[in-house]
Amino acid sequence: MSDVSTTDLLRVRAALSVGMPPAESLRSATDATLQATARVVGLGQPLAAVAREHADPSALSAGPLLRALALAQRCGHGAVDAIDLVLRTRHDALVDHHRLRARAAQATGTARLLTLLPAFAWGLMMAVDPAALRFYLQPVGMACAAVTVVLGVAAHVWSRRLVRRAAHAGLLADPLVAAVAAFDRGRALAVAAPVLIAGTVAIHPLVGLVAAGAAGAWAGRPREPSQPPSCGALEIVALLRMLLGAGTALPGALAHLADVTGDPVADQLRLIARRLRAGTGIERAFVGTGLVEIGSVLAITEQWGVSAAPSLHQLGEALRARQRAAAETAAERVQLALVFPTTLLTLPAFVVAVVPPLVWTAVAA
């Protein structure tokens, strides 16, 4: 899904300011996604259903705008406030994105440089001594070339994976992201045992032990969620604050949120709403979901009879700070993590690419 520009958001806000309905205001935008949404809504499809189909947690996409407008349409007012909410969220997301991109730029450049180092060294050596190319006509030379390519590609893939995981660290800190499974000792043992036996018998016990440890650590590593939630906890807090500020009761507000978000977030919201309607206390109703912190904040505000909006605003700021800190920490740590593909793959590729041709050329001379 393409990003929605700030200009289009301001166009929609201007249309709402003069009294245009939320669904009709989308026609004022030039973005293709928003125009298509306006046409679909004009044909009779509810705006909430369209928003539910845009299951994208990115603050720069059309998803947050459509969800905010759908909820404003449900409430009957607050559409301009919804646009202001989207604009503020978008501004904060852009600031975080550019900051983290600058921090990760050095790591990305380092990964590319280390990946290209063996190829550069080989090209320089061939330029100095073209006769060394005859080395690759020998069986040993072909094997060295194959090993160099395999090690170089593996180092590139590993490095890119490390950088990509660092870029997604902030999203993985979202409470609504499915909890990462613990280290699987059974799977690690099942993979490490045959590797240990094969390495001990075929090569050396120490080699088998090291290989088994590496294979077990890789096999039993915690699994990351396959995809992010359709709507992040930060957006849930902001939309809930908007609904409660408009006078909507908490069970109804959660039901409205469930109607505009996709699964599995919608399932959690509906579960909480059912518990509240059944008479469960606010804090207990949120237990077992990714929104426990929201339940604690709302329980405190109900206990003391104060407005929930300021407390939810502070909770949103805390969630954003937590995600920003996780992303910045990952961006800093990726520099250290790149030592492993460099030591285990890039340096051996460099040695295999440079040393055997030099030795063969010297012996042939």
State pLDDT tens for residues 92-132: 777 777 776 776 677 667 767 777 777 787 788 778 777 77
Q: Is 198 part of any domain?
A: yes
Closest-CA residue to 291 (of 310, 307, 312)? 312
Q: What is the pLDDT of residue 274?
A: 95
Q: Is 298 part of any domain?
A: no
Q: How far apart are CA 22 and CA 16, in angstroms?
A: 7
State pLDDT tens for residues 65-94: 888 888 888 887 777 887 887 888 788 777
DSSP per residue, 258-283: HHHS-TTHHHHHHHHHHHHHTT--HH
Out of 84-98, 124-138, 282-296, 328-342, the most confident range is: 282-296
Q: Is 271 part of any domain?
A: no
State pLDDT tens for residues 169-214: 767 777 777 544 456 677 778 888 888 888 788 777 877 787 788 7
State pLDDT tens for residues 302-326: 989 888 989 998 998 898 888 888 8
How many structural domains comprise the chain? Answer: 2
Q: Per the structure block, which two tokens stand in for 91?
A: 């501004």
Closest-CA residue to 321 (of 199, 174, 191, 200)? 174
State pLDDT tens for residues 40-54: 888 888 888 888 877
Closest-CA residue to 22 (of 89, 87, 85, 67)? 67
Q: Is the pLDDT of residue 298 over 90?
A: yes
Identify the band that residue 251 occupies on the pLDDT scale cut at 50, 70 and 90: very high
Sign of the dihedral through C-alpha 153, 154, 155, 159? positive
> Which of 70, 91, 112 is where one domain is finished?
91
Q: What is the pLDDT of residue 1?
A: 46
Q: Per the structure block, which two tokens stand in for 278?
A: 């059944």
Phi, psi of 264 (to 5 degrees): -90, 0
Closest-CA residue to 42 (of 62, 26, 58, 57)? 26
The residue range of the domain holding 22 is 6-91
State pLDDT tens for residues 221-236: 666 555 566 678 888 9
Q: Is 55 part of any domain?
A: yes
Q: Is 59 part of any domain?
A: yes
Q: What is the pLDDT of residue 179?
A: 42
Q: What is the pLDDT of residue 256?
A: 92
State pLDDT tens for residues 155-168: 878 878 887 777 67
> Which of 91, 108, 137 is where one domain is finished?
91
Q: Is 100 part of any domain?
A: no
Under DSSP, the state recorded for 152 is H
Q: Is 218 part of any domain?
A: yes
Place of tokens 């973005």: 31
> Which of 72, 91, 110 is where one domain is finished?
91
Q: Is 187 part of any domain?
A: yes
Least confident residue range of 69-73, 183-187, 282-286, 343-347:
183-187
State pLDDT tens for residues 19-48: 888 878 888 888 888 888 888 888 888 888
Distance (Å) of CA 334 to CA 112, 172, 306, 329: 13, 16, 44, 9
**Chain-centroid distance, C-alpha 55:** 14
